[in-house]
Structure 1
Amino acid sequence: MAVSEPKGALDGLVVLDLTRILAGPTATQLLGDLGATVIKIENPKTNGDDTRAWGPPYAQTTDGEQDLSAYFMAANRNKYSVAADLSSPEGQQLIKAIASQADVVIENYKPGGLEKYGLDFATLTERHPRLVCCSISGFGQTGPNRDQPGYDLMAQGYGGMMSLTGEPDGTPMKVGVGITDVMCGMYATIGVLAALRHRDATGEGQHIDLSLVDSQMAWLINEGTNFLASGDLPKRRGNAHPNIVPYDVFPCADGHVILAVGNDGQFGRFCSAVGLDQLSGDVRFVTNSLRIENRVALTAAIQARFQALAMDDILSRLREVKVPAGPIHTVGQALSTDQARARGAVVAMTHEDAAQGEVRLLGNPLKFSKTPVTYRRPPPRFGQDTDQIVRSFGQNPPKEPHSPD
């Protein structure tokens, strides 16, 4: 007897994806990884999602076309791609047909931008009251800035993150990747799942209003509440932590070491392990509060000691006494570690249009015991599934892992 593969947790769920760039596609890819059928609508006037052109690098394709940028592939697996023009009656008819059989619609048009096409939440739910709709925008559906566009960099600046990032006397810096977009996509996924639970319990769909800036402000976390509790503006500290010392990057004889001492017991073991016993009994450093107060003197003493020690020596000593410390990997080193291989940090997906026969992507970090994440469809070529989806609707929406045919 053949053993059937386990179904994803969201098997049978149909998601209409009206998003582009990163925040929305992050959410819809995650839903797709969990088993949902995701139908991505792409604008034929712009040759699809903007990020298809955000290269190099691109995946090498058998036809030489460059519509699979690495950026696009980062957030668009497990999706069908449909070329449809929202401004045309034909495009609107197709999208409405898909919405009529969908459970979720996620969009990131400017507030009010879908109303003229009859594709907004109010219009769609008049006929389909069980539909869950999530709208992602720069500043949200309300407020004085609702009509302003938003990109990750602008949200990091407006939302306060850049004021915290970088060296103390340097230029405010963004985080190295589009973390506001990614976190907004995560919030969107959580919101959709919560709304679906409500829908399944009551039969009522609902609208989720989510913005990049709101998401950014929400994940200021301890630095945000530090300000709210004290009234003091947080400062840029480079790699140092505002509430824990020593928690920083320290140069050593042959590189750099991350040191993350989280409590007084770890501090004592750290001092003993690296030959700084005199610091553990110093009245300036016996508690974390005192170490914060005297961080400059403590940091200078650690730096002086580490410059005489090799990185592997430091890490070995601290590993032995269970003090958190680690190296700073390049991206290549990180994705090549034994830990990354053991945890599936990189996945290879067969792609019939790729010159190498496959594309390599970052894996989903979720590990389920019953409904594992699946990698069913590689990032699609632009519009590759249009004919299949047109044939399928209004019959039955495609069910994973089978073709819509």
Structure 2
Amino acid sequence: MSESTVPPGAGPLAGIRVVDLSKILAGPYVTMSLADLGADVVKVEHPDGGDPTRSWGPPFNGPDATYYLSANRNKRSVVLDLKSADGHEAVHRLISTADVVVENFRPGSSLHELYSYERLSEQYPELVVLHISAFGDAGPMRLEPGYDMVAQAAAGLMSLTGEPDGPPLKAGYAMADLSAALFGVIGVNAALVERARTGRGQYLTTSLYESQLALHVSWATGYFATRERPRRLGSGHPNLVPYQAYPASDGNFVIAVGNQDLWRRLCVTIGREDLPADPRFITNADRVTHRDALNAELEVTLRERTVEQWCTLLGQAGVPVTPIRSLDEIYASEQTQVLGMIGTVDHPAVGELEQIRFPVTFRGERPELRTAPPVLGEHSREVLSELGYDDAEVDRLLAAPGDLREEARPHQ
């Protein structure tokens, strides 16, 4: 679509069509992000239940689980059997109109072969294809299935999460899925920029495993320098002290001291002017070395007041501090409301549906919440008609039995 035909406010990716052949979270989050940015995303689902996350509940809201509703807004849903001859032909008609395909077929599966980039690129050389897997396209773990928690365990996140004397824990968010999704979004947009320059599409791959390694950041460089296996620190920071959650008299709150000035302000505010003079705590390096001793001193003092009292006092002194807030508090907070991070969209079965909005603004505005996560097959007739099928052909396609399906497997 030329720039002159893009309607005002349509989003930076207006005119880009994405075919979403993925399911679960990583792939759908990529395509939802592209849709938020203005792309026309068509989600292709199997007639027998569609994306498995539609049934990942409770909680449900309307016919679908809230898990599905979290990653599929601004898309259109079409039901097609990817393996049947008619379904395969319809998907190819759809891909012929597309700029991007996103899939997470299990490596080695029939669908992975049927819709391989080698085959697609022969017919559609300008196509950008993103493949998301659990462990990457090469190596001894290439064929292993994996959900988010498996990747968190295999790629080190769980070894770094939890209290020192407790068991390893997974992160509260699906960090493996979501980090793969975000790197996937970056890759797709970069490939579209390059295609505008060269006229050629390309094959992109990322995985839950690789994306976790990319997020190791300072943990990795620390290990490379010392070759020491890091230990879990609870809410603590490996390189800064004090920088963690501390107990007050009625709960816990977070203090983040990132330099010497903040260290001195903290000590003055809590009435512990003795601490900066203690040889064990003079520099940050000293404090990291004597982490346990310092935390024991701080905890005794910090238990003397409430979370609200400490957050008020330390905040007034310019020390980074916050209560540990729950989701209900966050969603009701003035900060969240002022930023406009929660929006609503009309759902055909639910009515007004609340959604967390895209976290980037363009010219001061957030991308529009255009449409609700679609019910299964909601746009099948619309999209198939756009592809040139007449009413009788659409009826035949949608009446086809859905007994040819990909073998059941975990998230790729």
TM, length-normalised to structure 2: 0.90
Percentage of matched positions with identical amino acids: 38
- Whichever residue aligns with residue 369 of structure 1, its letter is R
3-state SS, counterpart of residue 132 of structure 2: strand
Instruction: Summarize deviations over 1:373-394 as a string: whole Å, max 9, x none.
Output: 1111101001111111110014
Match of 1:176 in 2: 172
Cα distance in 2 for partners of 1:115, 1:366 equals 35
Match of 2:50 in 1: 48
- Whichever residue aligns with residue 18 of structure 2, its letter is V
Matches within 5 A, 1:209-358: 209-354=205-350, 357-358=351-352
1:237, distance to aligned residue in structure 2 (A): 0.8
Q: Is 1:13–2:16 an aligned residue pair?
A: yes
Cα distance in 1 for partners of 2:235, 2:364 equals 39
Of 376, 391, 403, the residue aligned with 2:385 is 391
Q: Is 1:105–2:104 an aligned residue pair?
A: no
Q: Is 1:381–2:384 an aligned residue pair?
A: no
1:341, distance to aligned residue in structure 2 (A): 0.8
Instruction: Summarize deviations over 1:155-194 as a string: whole Å, max 9, x none.
Output: 0000011000011111111001211100100000000011
3-state SS, counterpart of residue 277 of structure 1: coil
Cα distance in 2 for partners of 1:266, 1:279 equals 13
Match of 2:353 in 1: 359
3-state SS, counterpart of residue 60 of structure 2: coil
3-state SS, counterpart of residue 391 of structure 1: helix
Cα distance in 2 for partners of 1:279, 1:346 equals 43
Instruction: Summarize deviations over 1:128-150 as a string: whole Å, max 9, x none.
Output: 10100000011112111111111
Instruction: Summarize deviations over 1:314-343 as a string: whole Å, max 9, x none.
Output: 111111121101001111111110001111
Match of 1:166 in 2: 162
Instruction: Summarize deviations over 1:9-33 as a string: whole Å, max 9, x none.
Output: 1001000001100000111000000
Task: Give the conservation status (yes or no) of the 8 Å contact 1:8–1:371.
Answer: no
- Whichever residue aligns with residue 43 of structure 1, its letter is H
1:204, distance to aligned residue in structure 2 (A): 0.9
Of 106, 117, 120, the residue aligned with 1:124 is 120
Task: Give the conservation status (yes or no) of the 8 Å contact 1:29–1:76.
Answer: yes
Instruction: Summarize deviations over 1:61-120 as a string: whole Å, max 9, x none.
Output: xxxxx3x21100110001000111111011111111111110000000012435676322
Structure 1: stretches of 5+ with no match in the other structure: 61-65, 396-405
3-state SS, counterpart of residue 44 of structure 1: coil
3-state SS, counterpart of residue 198 of structure 1: helix
1:255, distance to aligned residue in structure 2 (A): 1.2
Match of 2:33 in 1: 30
Cα distance in 1 for partners of 2:55, 2:246 equals 39
Match of 1:95 in 2: 91
Match of 2:392 in 1: none
1:309, distance to aligned residue in structure 2 (A): 1.1
- Whichever residue aligns with residue 368 of structure 1, its letter is F
3-state SS, counterpart of residue 255 of structure 2: strand
1:206, distance to aligned residue in structure 2 (A): 0.5
Matches within 5 A, 1:182-201: 182-201=178-197
Task: Give the conservation status (yes or no) of the 8 Å contact 2:100–2:129.
Answer: yes
1:352, distance to aligned residue in structure 2 (A): 2.4
Q: What count of residue pairs does the alignment treat as equivalent? A: 383
TM, length-normalised to structure 1: 0.92
